[in-house]
Chain A
Amino acid sequence: MPRPLSPADGAPARPAPLGYAPAPESRASVRLRPAYGLFVDGSFTEPGDATFTSVNPADEQPLAEVTTATEADLDRAVAAARRAFDGVWSRTSPAERGKYLYRISRIIQDRARELAVLESLDNGKPIRESRDVDIPLAAAHFFYYAGWADKLPFAVPGVPAPRPVGVAAQVIPWNFPLLMLAWKIAPALAAGNTVVLKPAETTPLTALAFAEICQEAQLPPGVVNIVTGAGGTGRALVSHPGVDKVAFTGSTDVGREIARAVAGTGTRLTLELGGKGANIVYADAALDQAVEGIVTGIFFNQGHVCCAGSRLLVQESVAEEVVGRLKERVTRLRLGDPLDKNTDIGAINSAAQLARIQDLARAGREEGGEQWSPDCPLPGSGYWFAPTVFTGVTQAHRVAREEIFGPVLSVLTFRTPEEAVAKANNTPYGLSAGIWTQKGSRSLWTARRLRAGVIWSNTFNTFDPASPFGGYRESGYGREGGRHGLEAYLDV
């Protein structure tokens, strides 16, 4: 059978390297409303006058109409969060707060398949990832922080009675929509805060499904409010005078803008921003495993990952071999229908993001890099970009410096460990890095010297609710996950 391409591409089916039958996940579990209002004070408003369309990036078909929140809507949402904070949530016993979070976690597990399908529809990511990574991790995150709610005296050393901050404004990106929601809402609620969260404009649907889950869990009205809209809505939310705390995950440029906006206001701020992660492969690495790690590092979630290993630093003596094996492996990746269970690479999330990736790839070619992709037919509709490897790249090239946020890997080489570290740290970012070696002492030597918040040794892109995540330098400040993740939401 041909690989599962969209029927719309019309081209005659080509023989696939491996014959997989299409294995599409059913969309039947997803119940979408034609139009969504905002989730404020425990209930959905009527869809507003101004709406936008959330489309399926794999076929450009509309999924639902979503409301653009006005400033008056934000006022109502922030006021509802304040009322809930003062009136209910700060008076709810910590153990009971935790039980609400446990409930939410269980309902996410109950509705896991529906949420996975919805996430893949709205985001374009392969069902294998939404089903096996995004949704289970989101449930686990709520379960993890649920247990912290009645243990806050142990959360921050030296602070025996920490208090919540108040109302948190949270703005999240489109790359892991429900998971980023969980990273924001779970620690905030566990610490006793109430929230107003804005999902990204291209991926609002699982956040709106989460609003239903809050209702189902009988969470007191106003504790969680979900407002939708684009950048303007986000800008208004983070600079709203009624919020005590802003948490943002997204691009470094927007992060700077938010940091400027809150300067002098006293509003607390945590930022999880961009990255240009180095993935260092030493000559003594287990190369087959390293190649798998390189693939996971850059092609997981189409490379829409702030901690992606987008710079491969490979020791010169094995560079040719590693790049050869890598290309062979990438040739076997299956790009296509996100809902197909065999798909490795799904759709790029939006036309705008596709244009950014294309622009940077063009710059890579123009600056002298050698661009390679497997012979990989792209579906005729939707937003697609073939997995891409740039060789002949120097540290000065834009593809090696700027965050691409797409399935594009730049390959650089090094001779000595010192050179590897120097090149890895030669970036204004500092979110993640990978190390591949079988020599334990070299792994530890390297890990010590890398200026990044998350270091993966002989693994890459692994995540866990118990593991703090966040960057150095222009990758932002604050941590999400683990005990450290609570500090952003406690007044200490």
Chain B
Amino acid sequence: MSDHTTAQDAVPGRLPVPKTYKLYVGGAFPRSESGRSIPVTAPDGRHLAHAALASRKDARDAVVAARAAFAPWAARTAFNRGQILYRIAEMMEGRRDHFAGAVVDALGVPRPRAEEAVDAAVDRWIHYAGWTDKVAQVLGGANPVSGPFDNASAPEPTGVVAVFAPQDAPLLGLVSVLAPVIATGNTAVVVASESAPLPAVVLAEALATSDLPSGVVNILTGRTADVAPALAAHEDVDALDLTGAGALAADLERAAATTLTRVLRPGPRPDWWALPGLGRITPFLETKTVWQSVGR
């Protein structure tokens, strides 16, 4: 009874439960308000998942969340921000296999190479965790003015930063652009790599369990060109990191000019494996100089 045997073989074992990849906005994981999604494939063409296709409305919601989170995040002590960034590293380390799988799927690289990228990303959080309470000493200081004044300059976070994450380094590149933005007290709306967004969503899951206050990091997936103009022209966005904006960069910079939004332009392709300098910290800082009259 060959038919019977075949039917027996077809009885399913345990069915895996695939994950729904959603946006990360204000500490929650909503689908796009548009109800749209976009299929994500591996470099070999294999279907991986449906990612949420963020709309302009989602982008604006993310800016609202980031704006609300800015003042309290900036007011945290630098030490506390450092602890939370370190906690993010801990959470990533605990999900190392999950992240490595996401990087293999996203880039088609061998597993050991993906694990190296995850390790480098974890270490990048730790690197920036250590910057939080040193930036002010390195970039600020006393100014010896002529007169009876104490005068000192100190860096302050710019505000809400729209981060266009690199397209071809969906985890290490993403962490390398995001960590320096939030380390100093900015909040971020991240537009994840368009073709490889899934590691960003996995990162969001780690962020959500890292004591990072809701809204400090918001992650959008989908088509960069759909949400980028709304973010660049948004009056409540204070700075743009155009690293992953590609051909859109010049138009976005032009849109940013209307409200004098600060812009980090895309440079030559960065080496994400190299130890970063201050080049991704200073563009998102303002210098505040305070004169205090001295007298009896």
Contacts and interface: CB of A to CB of B under 8 A. Distances in A.
B291 A456 contact: yes
Contact of B143 (A255, A468, A475): A468
A260 B290 CA distance: 31
A467 B260 contact: no
B60 interface: no
Interface string A365-389: 0000000000000000000000000
Interface in A239-259: 252, 255-257, 259
Given A157-B139, A259-B260, A477-B262, A466 B291 contact: no
Interface string B245-258: 00001110110111
B146 interface: yes
A127 interface: no
A482 B153 contact: yes
B290 A455 contact: yes
A196 to B, nearest CB: 22
A120 B294 CA distance: 31
B209 interface: no
B243 to A, nearest CB: 15
A484 B287 contact: yes
B16 interface: no
B278 interface: yes
A467 B289 contact: yes
Interface stretch (A275-283, A312-320, A404-412, A457-465): A457-465
Interface string B151-180: 101000010000000000000000000000
B28 to A, nearest CB: 28
A443 interface: yes
Contacts of A492: 279
Interface stretch (A263-271, A326-334, A342-350): A263-271
A62 interface: no
A260 B293 contact: no
Interface in A467-492: 467-470, 472-477, 479, 482-484, 487, 492
Contact of B260 (A140, A158, A256, A462): A256
A35 interface: no
A428 interface: yes
Contact of B288 (A452, A474, A477): A452
Contacts of A428: 259
Nearest to B135: A157
Contact of A473 (B151, B238, B290): B238
Interface in A421-458: 428, 430, 443, 447, 452-458
Interface residues of A, number: 46
Contacts of B260: 252, 255-256, 259, 271, 273, 473-477
Contacts of B249: 264
B138 interface: yes
B79 interface: no
A266 B290 contact: no
B18 interface: no
Nearest to A471: B286
Contacts of A1: none
Contacts of B143: 464, 466-468, 482
A159 interface: yes
A470 B258 contact: no
A256 B82 CA distance: 36
A472 B286 contact: yes
A159 B265 CA distance: 19
B147 interface: yes
Nearest to A459: B293
B5 interface: no
B250 A264 contact: yes
Contacts of B149: 459, 462
Contacts of A472: 158, 286
A260 B249 CA distance: 12
A458 B292 contact: yes
Contacts of B278: 157-158
Contact of A467 (B139, B145, B254): B145
B12 interface: no
A145 B256 CA distance: 32
A453 B257 contact: no
Contacts of B238: 473
Contact of A479 (B259, B287, B290, B292): B287
Contacts of B290: 447, 455, 457
Contact of A443 (B153, B158, B287, B292): B292
Given A266-B265, A466-B145, A453 B293 contact: no
B127 to A, nearest CB: 13
Contacts of A482: 143, 153, 289
A255 to B, nearest CB: 6
B277 interface: yes
B265 to A, nearest CB: 7
A264 B288 contact: no
Given A260-B254, A271-B260, A464 B147 contact: yes
A433 B290 CA distance: 10
B293 A457 contact: yes
B257 A140 contact: no
B279 to A, nearest CB: 8
Contact of B259 (A266, A447, A470, A474): A474
B144 interface: yes
A242 B210 CA distance: 49
A442 to B, nearest CB: 12
A468 B142 CA distance: 11
A165 B167 CA distance: 29
A431 to B, nearest CB: 11
Interface string B189-229: 00000000000000000000000000000000000000000
A469 to B, nearest CB: 7
26 contacts: A159-B277, A252-B260, A255-B260, A259-B253, A259-B260, A263-B253, A263-B257, A264-B253, A273-B260, A430-B286, A453-B286, A454-B289, A454-B291, A455-B290, A455-B291, A456-B291, A457-B291, A458-B292, A459-B291, A464-B145, A466-B144, A467-B151, A468-B289, A470-B287, A473-B259, A483-B141
Given A252-B260, A454-B291, A472-B286, 16 more contacts: A158-B278, A263-B250, A263-B254, A264-B254, A266-B265, A447-B288, A454-B289, A459-B291, A464-B151, A467-B145, A468-B287, A472-B158, A473-B259, A474-B260, A476-B260, A482-B143
Interface of B: 138-139, 141, 143-147, 149, 151, 153, 158, 238, 249-251, 253-254, 256-260, 262, 265, 277-279, 282, 286-293, 295
4 nearest interchain CB pairs? A264-B250, A259-B257, A464-B145, A458-B293
